[in-house]
Each structure stands twice: as structure tokens, then as C-alpha cells.
Chains A and B, each alone.
Chain A
């Protein structure tokens, strides 16, 4: 019997982290650095830093279809095709084949996944903003959903902490709507962006244009270089994986930091089917894992479990974790598990042509743009909807592909396309989506994936508040570009997309003060299972309109700190 005891010992860790993306990487780093022996489970394949980025240094002519999507890939990557970019040949191998990983759409949902070590930290947009003080009080003030159990002051020191390690470049603008952080130097605006900024800020006193705050090393510090990270080289090929480790990802930053402690075990190809629960002790004891290749099942055990499998991933694991205590899924006493799906709604804004500055150009490819912080329903403004939106945008000179829309061919036509084209600038909105309990996911009672796990069923859609907001999102963009003197300004409002298209899925296991109306407490613990923490997008109580990943990082670091202290106190 000794053999079995030893085997069980081998499968036992201080902590298990489920998922290796942005928040899972942070959980692994923090918990190992605080002395815990950690098992990090990743459902997908391994991708090694640098050597695993198979297309990172390809020249344009080295792609068999020059980046275009084959008809076969278009069929297989049917959800990715809805984004218009994630299925491209340059980085398609970092996204999931949707036909092999199906889900059910009672109402349409655009679910874009990255099942591999690093998760979507390899392909994320890298824009990094703090929620502001109002964001944490918005539900309370509006009387909707539930109140956040934390305030900005609870998270502020953790924002500062994660910004320092991740390396966020940005300018400090002193705006309460977009709190300043712990930044590396900002990237530069180009000539037209500077001019449009000046004109917009003059025309609209309360609207601002700032440089995008992004997780790129513009001036690396020792904390970055000692992990092998280097400064951004301005290639703008980030989604292929960065051979310089210049943007924050699990591979470039949190994974090497966790590995350096000697206390991390990373196990790819390990799909977590459920969290194991001991009815007598009232605690989670471990997780059940299915090997994605061999389909073999193994159990792993730990004192604490961090779920960081992405919002829908973590929630589906909890839903599948049934026991006599939790017949409807672990931690689902409130019936809120799976509800309140949020995202940011986009595909709305404007673009126009800038006349002049023909003698100005730029050097390098900046994987970043400008940002217009929220100004609607802010500082005295009041609309017929609640919450607000920000814009990401940028100016550039047209390239050779302007030839497709133009008449002509031949020598003069060719020569004209070898010159920089006219300037144009665009602003694309990112709007807050309200939590709605009817926007939900459930598990299919009968349909299963190839690993025998139930498929997720989505039943969610944008609401009236979002639709009203979109009118402002388009009209305001037109108004600002016109005020800045741009010509031929074209507004757009593409309503053909669905929740999920922002790839910012949030909610489904919200934080709250009351176990009757929320799944997680203020430390991201499941109210009724104190040794299970959920610190990915599932935890979000409201969405704000800013990109969410930085908040997941801060929540994770904060929860890990709490968890280790609680373990030392023997509270969990």
C-alpha cells in the first residue's frame, strides 16, 4: 500500500492553478514566489517561449497564402472567422479550431479561444487600463445587479504592483476617469494624431486623447531584463508571439518567474473536468484531469485551487463539479453561476481623411494607438443610457492596398502605389455591457465534446442600453473627427456581431457581498468553498469600458496574497 500513498503524494501540491493564461500565470508566479509548491494545469498543448513561435520571424512572402485564410480553415475556424482577423495565416495556430471545440448557440455568441500554454496572453491586445473609482460603485449607484465587494482603493496597490512587473507603457494624464499607473515611457503619437488631439481637446474641453497604455517594454527595467525580456522592436507582429519577450505574456514574464522558484510544475494537455469536493470536510480537495491526447483520467490534490481557465472555462468546470452539497454546480447556491455574461461591444465608430502633412511620415510599426477615455455620463454629462465607452484609434498613411479601390493599372499606377498614400484616421468604440442575469451559459444535458465533457450552451445578447449607447459611439466619433478637420468622415455601426466579439468575456461567477446573490466574495473565494478562488474574467461584477486584463492581474495578485496569508493562519 506504500506505493499508493507515494503515488498520492506525487499528485499532491500546496496549490493547483487551472489555466496558464494571463491570470493563471499570475497565480502561479505569486503562489510559487510565496513559497508554495504549485501545479499549473493547461488544457492545451505546450508552446515554448521564442522557439514555439513558429511564424514570428516570417517575412510576408514566406506565408504560403500571404496571410489569407484558406477555405478549409474558414470552415474549421467558423467562430474565429467572425472576428475578421484571428483566423489569418500569420497566427491562426494560436487560436482554436472551432469544429474540434464546438459550443451551442441558443442565441449567437462569438467565443474566441486559445487552448495552449500562455492562453490568450500570447495574442491579447495588450491595452492596459485601470478601472476607476466610479466603476466599482456603478452597480450600487445605478441600482442594478449587485455591488462590487471591493473599491478602487482595495485594488490600487495591486494595480501598481502588477504594472511594475508586467511593464506597462503609458502617459500620466491626471484624469479621474482613467487613473494613472506605474508606467514605462509612453509610445509616440504621429504627426496627425498630435494635431487631431490638439484640435479635439480644444473643441471639446472634456474629451481627451492620450497615447494607448500598453503592456510593451518601452524602457525595460532590471525586473524585466533578468527574465530575458527586451525592449519593443516595433515589428507589430505580436500575435505571432514575440521573440524579444517585449510584451507581457505568460511565457515572457510570469512563467519564467514561477519556474525560477523551483516550485512550479507545469502540466500541459491536462483538461480539468471538475473540482473534487469533500462533503464531510466542506472543502475542495483537488481536481480531476483528462489528458487531452490519451483521454486518461488522473486526480491531483491541493490545499487551495485557483481557477483561471477563462470566464466560461472556469464556470463550466464549476458547473460540472457536482456533489450532494452542490447538486447544481460548485458554489452555485445563488443560482448566479453562468449568469451575467459581459463583454465590450465594438464595431462602431468613424474614420476620415486628413488633408495635409503630406511631407510627414513615421518610422517603425507601433503596435498601439491613441485612446479616448470615457466622457459620456461623466462629470455632469447625462444620456438616455447608463455607463459609457472609450475609443481606440490611430492615424496612418495608406499603403499599397489602396490600389484595390482605385481605377487604373500599369507603370504610373504601380509607381503611385510605391509612395506613401494619404493620411486617414479612425476611432473605434469599446462600450460597457451591463450585467443581465438572462445573459447566461449552461451545460448541455446531452451533447458532449470528444473528452466526454458537456458542451457549453450560450443564451445571451446585447441589451437596449448597449444599442442606445452605440448611436453616441458612432455619432460622437464622426463629430470629433469632423471637428478636427478631417474630410469624408464615415461613421459605421456594425450590428451583425455578438457578445464575445470583444474577446473580453466577463461575468458568470461574479464577486459580491451576499452569498445569496453572488458566487465569489471580496477575496475571489467561492462563498461556500473557501479554498477555491476564481480570479479570471468570471469574477467581474461589472465590465467598465476599459480593457479588462490588467484588472484580472491585480485581482489575482491580491487574492494570492490573501490565500497564502490565510493558509499560514490555518484559515484555509
Chain B
């Protein structure tokens, strides 16, 4: 079979899988996919409130803004963050993220008397810098607690948690670079490379492979 035949075969396969329920081998799959399906069907967030959802979209867009390629908001990163947080994170982690959103709005109000979405770009960046600095400080404090520093008062259960900004950044990068926009526009995506060349000189401006 040559490559063309092989590709034809996959084209047929793609047609075939569309008709099948994805991961359809067990009843379990239905519940595991429910959140994503629900979000698509209703257009409404599954974990966030509408306000939180909009805030996550704005925050993600500060981390990955539109440049010469679309940013996180265009890639609807808030939607995958909503679904992944709901299905893949434990309750205390979900709560820490929600608390982080509340805290961010408070920082915005305290600093500028406005909600985050009312801020201009420079102000949004200032808030994000503050969140990043807070996360760094929190990590340093946890590291000192683990190292047994006497002056640190952190309960054992809270010595190894991911700060809000780190969660937000991790989820934003994952959500963006695995999205269709992120993978195919910001990065270069080749579904079926067809061959492997071990040494290829980098071309000017060449993007990284998406996967």
C-alpha cells in the first residue's frame, strides 16, 4: 500500500468515526464526556458563573494575547478551562481557583475602582504582574515551610498547593496551544507527517511543532 492509499483509508476512517460515539465502548464514557458535551450543547459554563467565565476569558487573553495570531480569548480558552476544572480537578483545587477569581476582582476594585473587564490593557497587565508576584511569594513561603523554617506558619495541608496564577497559566497554555487556533496558527500542526527527517535546518521564522 502506498502513502496515497493509506491516506485514503484514513479519510474513510474519519468518515466512519464521525458516526460513532467517541470513546463509545462503555457507559462510563458518557459521564466522562458529559461536561464538554453540556458546554457545547447549552453554551453555558458548567462550573463557572457567567461572570467568572467572562473574567477567565479576559485573564487568559492577558497571558496569551492576540499578536499576529489570535489569542486565548479567540481560541475560547475559558470554555476548556471551565470543563477541565470541573472534571479533572478536585473540589479544593476548584475552590482555590474560584477564590482566585474573586480575589482578582477585589484587587482590580481596590486599585482602580473598576472590574477587571473595565480595565485598560496596561492596568490588566499590572494586575497580572501582581498575581504572578503573589504566586512566587506563596511558593517561596511553602518551600520554606517544607524546609522546616521556624517562622513560617502554614498548615501541613497547604504546603503543597498550586497558587491561583500558576493554575491559571497552566490551564491557559494547555487550553490555547492544544486548541485549533493555537496548534494550527500560533504553532505548526501536521496531522500526518508521513516521514521522519532527523536533521532539518531551521528555516527563518519557523514555528515549533504543535505536537
* A, B co-complexed: yes
Instruction: Give the B-binding residues of A (Cβ under 8 A).
Output: 45, 50-51, 53-62, 64-73, 76, 89, 92-93, 97, 187-191, 193-194, 220, 225, 228-231, 233-236, 243-244, 358-366, 397, 399-401, 403-404, 407, 409-411, 413-415, 417-421
**Complex contacts, B5 vs chain A, CB 8 Å:** 230
B163 at interface, CB cutoff 8 A:
no
- Please tell me which stretch of B11-19, B99-107, B111-119, B146-154 contacts chain A, meaning at least 4 of its Cβ atoms lie within 8 angstroms of it: B11-19
Interface residues as binary, B175-211 with A (CB distance below 8 Å gives 1, 0 otherwise): 1011110010011011111111111111000111111
Q: Does the CB pair B180–A187 fall under 8 Å?
A: no
**Complex contacts, A233 vs chain B, CB 8 Å:** 3, 6, 192-195
Q: How far is the CB of A133 from chain B (nearest CB, A)?
A: 32
Known contacts being A57-B14, A231-B3, A234-B194, is A360 close to B200, with CB within 8 Å? yes
Complex: A68 Cα to B62 Cα, angstroms: 24
Complex: A409 Cα to B210 Cα, angstroms: 19
**Complex contacts, B36 vs chain A, CB 8 Å:** 64-65
Interface of A is mostly: loop
Complex: A236 Cα to B65 Cα, angstroms: 30
Complex: A403 Cα to B182 Cα, angstroms: 14
**Complex contacts, B187 vs chain A, CB 8 Å:** 400, 418
**Complex contacts, B156 vs chain A, CB 8 Å:** none
Complex: A312 Cα to B83 Cα, angstroms: 38
Q: Does the CB pair A55–B22 fall under 8 Å?
A: yes
B142 at interface, CB cutoff 8 A:
no
B87 at interface, CB cutoff 8 A:
yes
B43 at interface, CB cutoff 8 A:
no
Q: CB-nearest residue of chain B relative to A91?
A: B23
8 A Cβ contacts from B91-140 to A? 125, 128, 132
Which of A69, A187, A364, A413 has most chain B Cβ within 10 Å?
A364
| The one of B64, B90, B194, B199 that contacts A360, using a Cβ cutoff of 8 Å | B199
A-B contacts, 23 listed (Cβ < 8 Å):
A51-B17, A58-B22, A59-B183, A62-B22, A64-B35, A66-B80, A67-B178, A72-B31, A188-B197, A190-B198, A220-B1, A229-B1, A233-B6, A364-B194, A365-B193, A397-B208, A401-B174, A401-B177, A407-B132, A414-B186, A417-B177, A417-B186, A417-B208
Which of A62, A73, A194, A358 has most chain B Cβ within 10 Å?
A73
The 7 closest A-B pairs by CB, nearest first: A188-B198, A64-B36, A364-B196, A364-B193, A230-B6, A190-B198, A409-B63
Q: Does the CB pair B84–A66 fall under 8 Å?
A: yes
**Complex contacts, B3 vs chain A, CB 8 Å:** 230-231, 233
**Complex contacts, B42 vs chain A, CB 8 Å:** none
Q: How far is the CB of A420 from chain B (nearest CB, A)?
A: 5
Q: Does the CB pair A230–B180 fall under 8 Å?
A: no
Q: Does the CB pair A65–B196 fall under 8 Å?
A: no
Complex: A394 Cα to B173 Cα, angstroms: 25
Q: Does the CB pair A57–B17 fall under 8 Å?
A: yes
**Complex contacts, A364 vs chain B, CB 8 Å:** 190, 193-197
B88 at interface, CB cutoff 8 A:
yes
Q: Does the CB pair A243–B194 fall under 8 Å?
A: no
**Complex contacts, B67 vs chain A, CB 8 Å:** 411, 414-415
| The one of B196, B202, B208 that contacts A358, using a Cβ cutoff of 8 Å | B202
Known contacts being A72-B31, A93-B25, A364-B196, is A409 close to B62, with CB within 8 Å? yes
Known contacts being A61-B178, A64-B83, A400-B208, is A359 close to B202, with CB within 8 Å? yes
Complex: A45 Cα to B180 Cα, angstroms: 33
Which of A51, A193, A194 has most chain B Cβ within 10 Å?
A51
Q: Does the CB pair B25–A68 fall under 8 Å?
A: no
Complex: A70 Cα to B89 Cα, angstroms: 7
Known contacts being A57-B17, A234-B194, A400-B208, is A66 close to B32, with CB within 8 Å? no
Complex: A148 Cα to B5 Cα, angstroms: 46
**Complex contacts, B179 vs chain A, CB 8 Å:** 61
B170 at interface, CB cutoff 8 A:
yes
